[in-house]
Structure 1
């Protein structure tokens, strides 16, 4: 394949070598990530019987390093993960016995979370959050991850997104696991923030172990290196025998065969994969449908609903690919769930199908921790049996809300 590509490219650029073509090294998937400049090369690849797909890896323009921060902060889902002012005790959150704050949507009337905690806290289950990383300034995802009633678990902060490149040449500093967006930190908090003594918000599975992976700059996977980062993150998670659940609250409208291959790789190793159904503007969310990769059969698509239990959240996508919903919009004051801010103990809030997905991953960790010897299929059966639409799947909301207290109590139809 490299010889074919090089031959075509050298017709116009005779000084090129094979090393000039390879943008990123691959060691697991049977793919080549290459930089090509000539239409004839694309035509030759698509005509070859040896090629399963030849497609653009990303759609980003080449932009100078100086504009990257502005680009990230202006992207959907980034730049707003700071403490939320005006949160009201007893309405927006319940103060638990050790002082931590339980978000309003953890009340038993929605998902049975607080009752479920009497039987399971997620201990022994490891969740991978594929997102924009986690903040190195948030001690609840670092040195204070084990505090209060959260103990004996681990957190790893990894990065799979490669350095930026221009025509295959890396530039700028090496990427770190640190969250430059804010989205990944809020997802990690919603899933597994500790039940500590510092007054911060507690996650759904406060004793689950966590791996946060910085695979992208923001939640819209348009850049080539984001495709590479996400693909490598799924491969990493697939190769980890200690990982059971993968959660990704990012996506795009168009498909990527490379990401699909990576997701199938992880799925083939028994991982339960949750992906966000999609989040956009209020006026468009009801029109777009479930985005990629939540639309894949290997992914469990999750979306958010309002506290009336029947209406999608204002910004949430719905459709036939949705399998579960999570309550995440309190309509009376338009409040989203509590989570961890970029730093400090004062909670922030976060919405969309993003928080629904990370929360569903945490809910599932509670179930899998209760039944640690069961398979992915058996855990899915428990989730469905404890869901609001178990007798008749909805074309918009799938199996609906899971009552995790029922799921951990052993009721399976």
Structure 2
């Protein structure tokens, strides 16, 4: 099954055919001429080919303004107090309501309003602020004037100013793109006992891939009790009772499950237009991730998660696994800061990503890192005919998260059919049978019959579950001590592989 980020690489390859070269757009044009989507995508493509990632700071003022005009005009502006240094490494200690930080924000907003009023003299501050920010030194504003872009990027109070909702998607049907990773979490027919799963007491199905990570042996020492995993994804299906009223059953007891939402309402020109979002999973992807990590070891014949006695928070931060809208960027950033500010949360897992970078999401991840959270992100997955062509995606390639990808059962250094890998990969999980491409078991949207899910998505959720086993076994450990346990009990230790990092984790060894 091809569920995580199937359109990422396709979007890159489609716009590769455009004729405009990177040199045409890397410097401001002689006149402020709006660049087409094709021209913007060509520049993004050139950067991906050059350095395997795209950061908006490499683009010209004209290109950034054009990307705003070609999307929803929402700009993410990271500000800083006068004289502040090492902001990114100190975000968890910054009080944005302190006088110097508030003064910087107010001044930047006043400058934006003054510039935007050159196009519309009746604008008020409330007209341009898209969302209020209560944690990070960032503001999200509607920008239409190219002079505003130029002013912000030259401003000594501004850390970054970039389009929030632009993502290359030329040539992709909008409906298909918006449902990326969704709609496939239904019961899988033809699962074979003792081949695709093993029945474990009291009556649960353990996925075939657990044996490669010695999870059964680890269960003799730890089941995840006392730890809490925070899953950032598309939510959790209300109709799946194993993540609700039956979360505690059989060998799973005394734990909690919480469902929240950080995805803001749809807006148009700053005005809310869509319904208030709920934590319910309209996609299916988030439910499958929660099941892989934390489903109960129950009596109803459903699949069991890796950390079947951990506590769980599921957060609906996006509509699907491709983070390609301003409100999804805001939802993901708010999810990380929400998790960061919870003392009970130790592990954050996200099986979503995007082609272009987002400094606002990076800020939120740096904030969570400063709060001591252990974070895992999916390295990326695409169509089978493009897997391996594109490297580790954003935000998995960031240094403060651990990128996870999937490998086959016959060669632990062969990516799954759809999985991305690269030098930023930290860990691998066996999640695809070479013989028939069978993927691991998880919970379907409803009922007890298991579904299956593949890609770096399930690899990431599985890795989060293993980390919960380790932290439960050593509850006084810090984040770095847990991470070292995982590294030292991985197949490639002590020599990190250039494409697969530390490799497959031995959960049994890591819980010794």
Pairwise TM-score range, normalised by the shorter structure = over 0.9
- Aligned residue runs from structure 1 range 202-213, under 5 A: 202-213=304-315
For structure 2, the residue ranges without an aligned partner over 5 or more in a row are 1-107
| Whole-angstrom CA distance in 2 between matches of 1:356 and 1:238 | 22
Cα offset, 1:331, TM superposition: 1.6
| Whole-angstrom CA distance in 2 between matches of 1:71 and 1:210 | 31
Match of 2:143 among 33, 36, 43: 36
Calculate the TM-score normalised by the size of structure 1.
Answer: 0.95
Match of 1:216 among 292, 298, 318: 318
Cα offset, 1:392, TM superposition: 1.4
| Whole-angstrom CA distance in 1 between matches of 2:387 and 2:122 | 49
| Whole-angstrom CA distance in 2 between matches of 1:289 and 1:73 | 20
| Whole-angstrom CA distance in 2 between matches of 1:396 and 1:8 | 47
Q: Which moved more, 1:233-242 or 1:37-46?
A: 37-46
Runs of 4+ in 1 over 6 A off after TM superposition: none
| Whole-angstrom CA distance in 1 between matches of 2:116 and 2:509 | 61
Match of 1:178 among 257, 280, 284: 280
1:65 equivalent in structure 2? none
- Aligned residue runs from structure 1 range 137-176, under 5 A: 137-176=239-278
- Aligned residue runs from structure 1 range 54-203, under 5 A: 54-59=161-166, 71=175, 75-107=179-211, 110-203=212-305
2:116 equivalent in structure 1? 9
| Whole-angstrom CA distance in 1 between matches of 2:420 and 2:254 | 37
| Whole-angstrom CA distance in 1 between matches of 2:357 and 2:295 | 32
| Whole-angstrom CA distance in 1 between matches of 2:225 and 2:154 | 52
Report the CA distance shift for 1:162/1:334 in structure 2 as closer, same or farther (over 3 A): same
Cα offset, 1:58, TM superposition: 1.0
Secondary structure at the aligned position of 1:323 is classed as strand
2:478 equivalent in structure 1? 375
Secondary structure at the aligned position of 2:414 is classed as coil
| Whole-angstrom CA distance in 2 between matches of 1:219 and 1:81 | 14
Calculate the TM-score normalised by the size of structure 2.
Answer: 0.77
| Whole-angstrom CA distance in 1 between matches of 2:115 and 2:337 | 31
Cα offset, 1:373, TM superposition: 0.2
Pair 1:50 & 2:153 matched: no
| Whole-angstrom CA distance in 2 between matches of 1:72 and 1:202 | 31
Output one character per residue of 1:279-329: Cα deviation in whole Å (capped at 9) or x when no partner: 111122211110110100000000000001231101000111111000000
CA-atom RMSD, angstroms?
Answer: 1.4
Aligned residues of 2:178 and 2:319 also touching (Cα < 8 A) = no
Larger radius of gyration: 2
For structure 1, the residue ranges without an aligned partner over 5 or more in a row are 62-67
Output one character per residue of 1:267-286: Cα deviation in whole Å (capped at 9) or x when no partner: 00000000000111112221
Give the paired residue count.
400
2:414 equivalent in structure 1? 311
